[in-house]
Structure 1
């Protein structure tokens, strides 16, 4: 009881920095080091986000939120404090306040919604250009670091292969080892191709333009308002190539489908490309990133570090089988870039 009262007092102290009369406060979400409070005010419902990150990092995110808002992207209005700040915080706890935006759920299995989401992603990447964070903020960037990240993931994969070998009776490790050599080889080939690609040129162009990515592109951040996607909050961002968002979104989608659907992907990329066109060299970098076994590496990372404490062995094994199905079923797709690039650019392409 004391902790709850203390927490409620803290939230009211935070809300005192904003120019609203608070009528009611309710905790709506509490996970992954973030809490979301719904605030009823004299100016309508608001959402207060509490995150276990330094204020300098939150400032990097909220200033980007304000940048997107100024560029006209459909995003929940962010509110400033009485002193004009976009967020507040101390030590490793930060807060920001934005409007609650009612809307319909957007789902991965709705193709028409997904096409609109791809158009929205293109608008997001256009709007992200020109963002310059303040000196007080702490930026996050992965630009120019893909080669290093690939190498680190491959080293971890080899380490997990050694760990798996020490558990010969473990079903997860048995399945993992059946496919690890092939995934390791594909990862090494992706690294070789990345080194030979136009990655550095696209990185320099993005650095010049100041573009950023979602960091973790998921439909949980979006809602449908008047038939169109609307961003409920800006969870996190990083300076990186726009193709990183596409890779993350497509891998999420195909994992839910349990198989790689090439026709669907081309259809979705045509929607994105109509708003944010990419060159064939840039699509090659997306193809390389999709070829790297991010999914396979990720599930092994979770399992051997026991990151998902609530997951049973059965759930881990199911997730591994699903990742393997997706990784293997995308292989034909990975060999078809020239033809699929023409389909993406053609008005008569796959739909």
Structure 2
């Protein structure tokens, strides 16, 4: 390991009442870094987190709130002076329990349903959380209309620009072939957000308060040897409707398959419903979010905004083909699902 990384970690760990025997860099992603620390008290995980102290304090408050309500997540070590994080050389660090486990596999149905139940518990456990004085939390509550409208506008701009281009790339041709249909899908999603269920739930959520993890997915989960599911990486917690996390996991799972699977979708939502029941109107908000072509937009923006400069043109085209396949197979499944909502919520 580079000496500078070791020195940074050693300096942060020196604030804790432990002795570090071995330090190993696990991950380095720009301003983020993660180390495994072997100590005289066992293994721990040190994280450098590039968020403000106010947001970090809220994150730690949220971890303790969630743990207190039954969510399995690594605990936060206290420093020699009782602080929950370390401020060193202008950067923030936290030391967490190390959890031994493996990432769940979506292809194993039992593990996938465990993920949905874990997500439901996360949302249920977060309900009612407040933002203590001196801390700061982010929120996307009530922002969906504006966000969707901006994305639609951006897709329309790219469509106009690439339509006028004299020389079109293979990616341009594929994008333009499907842009009209997926823009229509996006506009229908935005129209659904103008209906009462979304507005009413947003107003209720301002009082009831739910947290979204924003990446409650296999890479941030661990199944222990005893079958318990742990969630970590709380850096991106935000206030929003719970169905935003559900939409993301459905998209992650379905894009790995050849096409959207109605029966699997029903099973996933039944598993969620067992732990954190939603109403029919709330599921209609999920349907509105799912109808927006998030996967298509994400891949198109990566290409036109050059957010993955290391990718080859072939990889961009391949990924766009995958996203289009997922998006185009989704609409029929969502229409069919509408007749199964009562079954999911236990009325069918």
Same fold by TM-score greater than 0.5: yes
Task: Select 2:76's aligned residue among 63, 75, 78.
Answer: 78
Q: Secondary structure at 1:257's aligned position in 2?
A: coil
Match of 1:214 in 2: 213
Against the structure 1 CA distance between its residues 252 and 32, is the aligned structure 2 distance closer, same or farther, given a 3 Å change threshold?
A: farther
In the alignment, which residue of structure 1 is the partner of 2:190?
191
Q: Distance in 2 between the 1:147 and 1:54 partners?
A: 28
Aligned to 2:244: 244
Answering whether residue 305 of structure 2 is matched by residue 292 of structure 1, we say no
Instruction: Specify whether residues 12 and 312 from structure 1 end up closer, same or farther in structure 2 by C-alpha distance, changes over 3 A only.
Output: same
Partners of 2:83 and 2:219 in 1: how far apart?
A: 26
Superposed displacement of residue 168, structure 1: 4.0
Q: Among 110, 113, 123, which residue is 1:115 paired with?
A: 113
In structure 2, how many angstroms separate the alpha carbons of the residues matched to 1:338 and 1:186? 16
Deviation at 1:238, TM superposition (A): 0.5
Question: What is the CA distance between 1:163 and its match in structure 2?
Answer: 3.2
- What does residue range 62-77 of structure 1 map to in structure 2 within 5 Å? 62-77=60-75
TM superposition shift of 1:184 = 1.0
Structure 2 distance, partners of 1:299, 1:140, is 25
Shift of 1:52: 2.4
- In structure 2, relative to structure 1, the CA distance for the partners of 1:92 and 1:189 (3 Å cut) is farther
Q: 1: CA distance between counterparts of 2:24 and 2:151? A: 41
Unaligned residue ranges in structure 1 (runs of 5+): none
Deviation of 1:91 (Å):
8.1
Q: Return structure 1 stretches of 4+ with deviation > 4 angstroms.
A: none
After TM superposition, the score normalised by the length of structure 2 is 0.94
1:43-192 correspondence to structure 2 within 5 Å? 43-89=41-87, 93-165=91-163, 166=165, 168-192=167-191
1:241-282: per-residue Cα shift (whole Å, max 9, x none)? Answer: 000000011101111113111110101100100111111100
- Partner residue of 1:312? 312
Q: How does 1:233-272 map to 2 (within 5 A)?
A: 233-272=233-272
What is the Cα-based RMSD across aligned positions, in Å?
1.8
The 8 Å contact of residues 211 and 240 in structure 2, kept in 1 or not, is answered as yes
With the length of structure 1 as denominator, give the TM-score of the two structures.
Answer: 0.93
Relative to structure 1, is the Cα distance of residues 318 and 92 closer, same or farther in structure 2, using a 3 angstrom cutoff? farther
Any conservation in 1 of the 2:12–2:88 contact (CA below 8 Å)?
no
The 1-side partners of 2:166 and 2:113 are apart by 44
CA contact (8 A) 1:57 1:137 kept: yes
Paired residue total: 346
Moved more, 159-168 or 325-334: 159-168
Shift of 1:198: 1.1
Secondary structure at the counterpart of residue 23 of structure 1: strand
* Partner-residue secondary structure (3-state), 1:198: helix
